[in-house]
Amino acid sequence: MARFTGHVRCSDLEGGVLQLEAEDGNIYELEGEVDEKFVGQRVAIEGSVDRNAMSFSMTGPRLMVRAVSSV
C-alpha cells in the first residue's frame, strides 16, 4: 500500500470521473469509495496503482483507493 497526496478534481468525461492531481505531477483516476466532499480539497490517499486496468474514461492510471483523509 502506498500513500499519495494531491488535490481531488472531477472531470466531466463519461458522466463524471474523480481524479487525483498528485503532487508528483501524475493524474490518477480514482476507483473506490471517495466522497464528493473531497473535490477541490488537498487529500492523502492510501491505495495502490493498477496500471493494467482499463476504463471508459482512460484519464490516467487507476488508483485503487483504500482510505482518504483531508490534509
Instruction: Record the pTM.
Output: 0.86
Q: For residue range 6-34, list pLDDT tens digits in order.
A: 999 998 766 679 999 999 999 999 999 99
Q: For residue range 36-58, list pLDDT tens digits in order.
A: 999 999 999 999 998 776 665 56
CA–CA separation, 45 and 12 (whole Å):
22
Q: What single string gives the DSSP state of each residue in 1-70?
A: -EEEEEEEEEE-GGG-EEEEEETTS-EEEEES---GGGBTSEEEEEEEEETT---SS--S-EEEEEEEEE
Decide: 62 and 28 in contact? Cβ < 8 Å.
yes
